Structure 1
Amino acid sequence: MAAQHNEKIIKCDQKVNITATFGSDLVLEGATSIPNILLKTYNQIGISDFQMLLLIQMIRLNVEKKEYYPNPEMLAEYMEADPPRINREISILLEKEIITTSEYYDSGRKVIFKGYDFEPLFLKVSDIWAGIRAREIEESEKLLKIMVNSRDFTDIKFHNKTVGLIPIFENEFGRALSPIEVEQIEQWAEEAEARLIVEALKQAVLRGKHNFKYINSILAEWKRNNLQTLEAIAEYDREFQNRRSGRAIRGGEAGAGTVAAGNKNNSRKKEFIKTLYI
């Protein structure tokens, strides 16, 4: 049943720009907002792809046309299905208690009418969301406990990279992260394994560099050298230290040779001076 008239008002002016008219209708016709969390979790609720599309059409008619109780024939106009199938699918949704029917009161017209109620659907979605969030919080608390008790990064396992990384950074920095810093971590998490990000944080902390710019430079260096595991990073660091030690030794030998040569030249000068005065 519609709570109000749905006739469309059409502009009478014949001189219209079709592109502008389309743009105008695009705005004036409105939009149907479907939560992303519903689109991501409807299969967990037991809703089929067809039933999800059916629900979207029912919600659209509810919002756009004020059709709170659309019949199968009306819904069939917008779907590739006949009214009998639509009727069966609605019956399944009602049986699964994904939707229900309720009575509504139209205060303007002073009438009570029947309509589909989507509250059970969103209640089920909220239950799934709460379960996901509870697991994320539990995981974060476990990570924080590991950090506080052992300060050992090697055994940390991540389910959600960003959720797992944020408390680790906040613990090391001793403060809450800013939105920009959280966004930076999200960007790192898209490009690198969580273990590598934590290792970069660890190296920065050990060097007394508590800033994101330094951590970013470490990750960029590893990316340039295609270092994708902790083992590869450790080997890279060993080779770097060996090269630096080798340069120091060679530099020391060269310096010693220069000193020896200088001493020899000084002795020759002294001998030459003696020949002049003795």
Structure 2
Amino acid sequence: MKKEQFMQFMEEGNLTVPKYLLNNYVNLGLNEKEFLLLLHIHSFVETGIIFPTPMEIAEKMTIEPSECMEILRHLLQKGYVGINDEMDEYSIKYERYSLQPLWEKMIQFMMNQSNESYQQTQHEQEINLYTIFEQEFGRPLSPFECESLSMWIDQDHHDPLIIKAALREAVISGKLNFRYIDRILFEWKKNGIKTISQANEYGKKFRKNQQKTHTTQPKKTGNNTIPFYNWLE
């Protein structure tokens, strides 16, 4: 390779393509020809050719200009590429291709994937929550208890981890019933408790006050005692 050829190669630069787009263009509804055509448009725009003709694009591919025109029409109709009208410094109107619609579709797909993953995680946590409650109660939950658990999640929007923490609080306090757990959740929500660490600190604070004032009876566990806060008072 001659020096001049190498310099020309370097001056052509590189085309940056998001790896996420490369891995998911099929999920976005694109086939190989459509995806490659969009990449060529991206490449043309990057080099300053903002509105390449179908013939110019087709020369970079193994398709005829007529097929290139058809693919372009399809991509425009489906909202993968746009044509923007702009004005230059002399108020002369010109057109240019825009790949913003493609980036918006990619971002929306990413957000949908993230949301689906979150919903799947929440669903798994909810199923696990019912199992944990039944293990602690030592029996299947009644229809009323299942409904209460569902309401805490769907209507009160308590995080499953917070509900689990409230269950633990009820076990420690020796008050294993849904009314007591519901009261704990009510108090936590009223006081802005949203995380496990906040719930733990809140419980410790009441137990510390309990030890100082001796206003409630401790629960005995062997040789030690675990003071608890009566959330129903």
Structure whose CA Rg is larger = 1
Q: Name whichever structure is richer in helix by fraction.
A: 1
TM-score by length of 2: 0.49
